[in-house]
Structure formats: C-alpha cells, structure tokens
C-alpha cells in the first residue's frame, strides 16, 4: 500500500532550548527564513505525502497559523507589489492537507504517535519528528518509503552516533542487507550500561510504521524518563516481525538542541542563493578573529 500519510509529533516541551521555548514552540524556531517545521512538511511533500497530521498541544497555535492563509498580510503584500513574497506566503497553505490534533498530556513520543490512530486508520504511515530537520538531495522520508515498498516491513531512519553519545539515544541490533539498508531485530532506548548497547546505530528523526504499532502502543508502559517511548513499541515490532533500518543520506539538524540550531542556521544560510556569498565573506572575517 502506498504511503501517503505522515504524522509530525510537535507537542514536546523543548526543555533543552529554554528559555527560547517558554512560549515559542521549538518547531517554529526559524532556520534562516523558514520555521523548522516547514522544512519538515516540505520533505514529507517531496516524498509523496499528501496528508499530514501535526500533533500539537497548548501554546502551539502558531504552528496552525503558519500553515493557514493570512488575508491581511496577503492583501498588504499585493498592494505594495511584493508579488514574490505573496506567492511564497500563500504557497505554504497549499503544501498538503494538514490536520492538527492535541496531545492533551505530554506523556512521551509514543503517546503522541498514538494520538494519530484515527487519522492513520489501517495504512502504513511516516513519522517525521518535529524537531529533526534533514536536508539532502533525496528526501530522507522518501528513502524510508522506498525501503518499506521493497521489504514490506516498518522502517527506521538510522545513523551511527559517537560512542560517548549512544547513552542519550536508542541503540539498535542491525545486520546489513545491502548498501545502506539493514534488518533490525532489536532495540533499546537510552541504554544505561555499555553491555546494553546493541550497536552505535540509533533511530534519528524518521520512521515508516505499519498500523499494528497502535495496538502495541496501547500496551506500552512508561519507559525511560517516565514517558511512553516510541522505541519501546518499535522494539516489539523489531523482535516479532522485524524492521528495516535505512542509514539515510542527508544532514540532520537537532532543533531541540542549542548547538544543533546554530549548525542548522550557519549551514543552511551557506546554501541560500541570496545569502551564501555575503555570509561566507562575513564568516571568513569572523574566523580570523577566533
Ligand atoms: P524530544 O524528546 O526531543 O522532545 O521528542 P522534548 O520532550 O520536547 O525534548 P526536551 O524537553 O528538550 O528534552 C522528539 C519529538 O517528539 C515530540 C517533540 O515535540 C519532538 O518533536 N514529542 C515529545 C511529543 O510530541 N510529545 C511528547 O510527549 C514528547
């Protein structure tokens, strides 16, 4: 079955980026001239997704406003002849069919994904973590969808992380199938000891799941950090029917982390046609002073 639906969990509290995220959702933090979540929606659309459910919570209404029309602003832009910006602003509301639902309590990523059950129905669907922006020629979500179509199993986007960091992430048991594609038969969220580490491969930012994940999530107790972890539910899938891991191409930026936000801003600005040259010149001068 074709994957046309995606879920973007964006209801986290963003405690690692406080105080910026006290009243501003981290998913709305700008990278150059677009909020993080717009890059993610664009990746989904460029991967063939037509319907997107964004999971929000109290105080995240501006995410809804961003994907809505903005009549007063549009009128002003047209009246002042700013047709290019007008087109850009209007096109955001036409990217996809975008739906919203609130996760009423912040009980973890697994709990957030479980809020998507009635939207998803009985279809495979993509999950794009709302604070992970991935930039690349071939959209990461599309790479996972192709692996789903080829192998017929739920897919996780994976990347190797440094040995010193694996304790902050999930750790996966993987065996190579071809090039950058692996079979995944076990996983653990935030391993506590070196013995618990299965490999340095971790799930980063994207997955494609079959709808049987919902029954598993219903029976998943709170795990690491007292939250209902999506990894704990996917572990059941991995151990029973198996999953596929795709070491996707593309650069991932963690917008839930101050350093990740800085990297995203600098690197994406260097790719921006209007800013690249003056920004590069500025950086070169700045580097001399460091
Ligand atoms: P994170 O664990 O990175 O988000 O979840 P967080 O809880 O906001 O992080 P802290 O507070 O800085 O540690 C990954 C994704 O899952 C969403 C987040 O919005 C983020 O996009 N999420 C997390 C939810 O939607 N609901 C939750 O209950 C937890």
Tokens 């074709």 belong to residue: 2
Residue nearest ligand 1's atom 6 by CA:
12
Q: What is the pLDDT of residues 205-246, one digit of tens each?
A: 999 999 999 999 999 999 988 999 999 999 999 999 999 999
How far apart are the C-alpha atoms of 100 and 105, rounded to whole Å? 15
Q: What is the pLDDT of residues 128-168, one digit of tens each?
A: 999 999 999 999 999 999 999 999 999 999 999 999 999 99
How many Cβ atoms are within 10 Å of 256's Cβ, its own excluded? 22
Q: Residue 26 C-alpha to ligand 1 middle, in angstroms?
A: 10
- Does residue 6 contact residue 44 with C-beta atoms inside 8 Å? yes
> Given ligand 1 and candidates 256, 257, 259, 261, which is best to mutate, with the most ligand atoms within 8 Å of its CB?
256
Q: Residue 275 C-alpha to ligand 1 middle, in angstroms?
A: 31
Q: Residue 10 C-alpha to ligand 1 middle, in angstroms?
A: 7
Q: What is the pLDDT of residues 167-178, one digit of tens each?
A: 999 999 999 999
- Does residue 154 contact residue 162 with C-beta atoms inside 8 Å? no
How far apart are the C-alpha atoms of 173 and 197, rounded to whole Å? 9
Residue 1: the pLDDT is 82
The CATH number of the domain where 97 resides is what?
3.90.550.10
Q: Residue 15 C-alpha to ligand 1 middle, in angstroms?
A: 9
Q: What angle do CA 137, 139, 140 make, to 5 degrees?
A: 120
Q: Residue 29 C-alpha to ligand 1 middle, in angstroms?
A: 14
Pocket of ligand 1, beta carbon within 6 A: 9-16, 55, 103, 106-109, 111-112, 129-131, 256
Residue nearest ligand 1's atom 22 by CA:
12
Nearest to 128 by CA among 20, 203, 222, 66: 203
- Does residue 147 contact residue 190 with C-beta atoms inside 8 Å? no
> Given ligand 1 and candidates 9, 11, 12, which is best to mutate, with the most ligand atoms within 8 Å of its CB?
12
| Torsion, Cα of 133, 202, 160, 271 (10° steps) | 0
Helix (H) or strand (E) holding 43, with range, is helix 36-45
Would you place residue 60 in the very low, low, confident or very high pLDDT band (cuts 50, 70, 90)?
Answer: confident
Would you place residue 114 in the very low, low, confident or very high pLDDT band (cuts 50, 70, 90)?
Answer: very high
- Structurally, how many domains does the chain consist of? 1
Beta-bridge partner residues of 135: 251
Q: What range does the domain containing 257 cover?
A: 5-288
Nearest to 147 by CA among 106, 97, 207: 207
Q: Residue 14 C-alpha to ligand 1 middle, in angstroms?
A: 6
Nearest to 3 by CA among 177, 152, 215, 163: 152
Would you place residue 202 in the very low, low, confident or very high pLDDT band (cuts 50, 70, 90)?
Answer: very high
Would you place residue 41 in the very low, low, confident or very high pLDDT band (cuts 50, 70, 90)?
Answer: very high
- Does residue 114 contact residue 227 with C-beta atoms inside 8 Å? no
- For residue 55, the ligand 1 atom closest to its alpha carbon is 25
Pairing of strands 251-254, 132-135: antiparallel
Q: Residue 12 C-alpha to ligand 1 middle, in angstroms?
A: 3
Would you place residue 59 in the very low, low, confident or very high pLDDT band (cuts 50, 70, 90)?
Answer: confident
- Does residue 159 contact residue 252 with C-beta atoms inside 8 Å? yes
Bond preceding residue 19 cis, omega within 30 of 0:
yes
- For residue 10, the ligand 1 atom closest to its alpha carbon is 19
- For residue 111, the ligand 1 atom closest to its alpha carbon is 28
Residues 6+ apart with CB under 8 A from 19: none
| Torsion, Cα of 166, 170, 176, 182 (10° steps) | -150
Average pLDDT over all residues of the chain: 96
Tokens 């664009």 belong to residue: 42
Would you place residue 108 in the very low, low, confident or very high pLDDT band (cuts 50, 70, 90)?
Answer: very high
Number of residues assigned to the chain: 290
How far apart are the C-alpha atoms of 201 and 170, rounded to whole Å? 8
Sheet hosting strand 51-56, strand order edge to edge: 97-102, 51-56, 5-9, 125-128, 201-209, 155-160, 243-246, 181-189, 170-178
């Amino acid at each position: 079955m074709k994957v046309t639906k995606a879920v973007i969990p964006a209801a986290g509290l963003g405690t690692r980026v406080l105080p910026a995220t006290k009243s501003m959702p981290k998913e709305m933090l700008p990278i150059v001239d677009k909020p993080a979540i717009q890059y993610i929606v664009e990746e989904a659309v460029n991967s063939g997704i037509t319907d997107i459910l964004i999971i929000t919570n109290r105080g995240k209404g501006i995410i809804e406003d961003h994907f809505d029309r903005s009549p007063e602003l549009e009128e002003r832009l047209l009246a002042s002849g700013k047709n290019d910006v007008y087109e850009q602003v209007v096109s955001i509301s036409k990217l996809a069919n975008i739906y919203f639902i609130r996760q009423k309590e912040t009980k973890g990523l697994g709990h957030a994904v479980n809020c998507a059950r009635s939207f998803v129905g009985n279809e495979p669907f993509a999950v794009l973590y709302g604070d992970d922006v991935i930039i690349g020629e071939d959209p990461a979500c599309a790479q996972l969808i192709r692996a789903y179509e080829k192998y017929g199993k739920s897919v996780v986007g994976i990347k190797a992380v440094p040995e010193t960091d694996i304790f902050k992430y999930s750790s996966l048991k993987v065996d190579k199938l071809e090039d950058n594609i692996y079979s995944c038969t076990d996983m653990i969220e935030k391993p506590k000891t070196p013995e618990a580490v299965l490999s340095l491969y971790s799930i980063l930012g994207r997955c494609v799941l079959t709808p049987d994940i919902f029954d598993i999530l219903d029976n998943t107790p709170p795990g690491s950090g007292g939250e209902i972890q999506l990894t704990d539910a996917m572990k059941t899938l991995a151990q029973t029917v198996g999953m596929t891991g795709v070491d996707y191409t593309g650069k991932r930026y963690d917008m839930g982390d101050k350093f990740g936000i800085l990297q995203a801003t600098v690197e994406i600005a260097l790719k921006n046609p209007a800013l690249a040259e003056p920004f590069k010149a500025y950086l070169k001068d700045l580097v001399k002073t460091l």
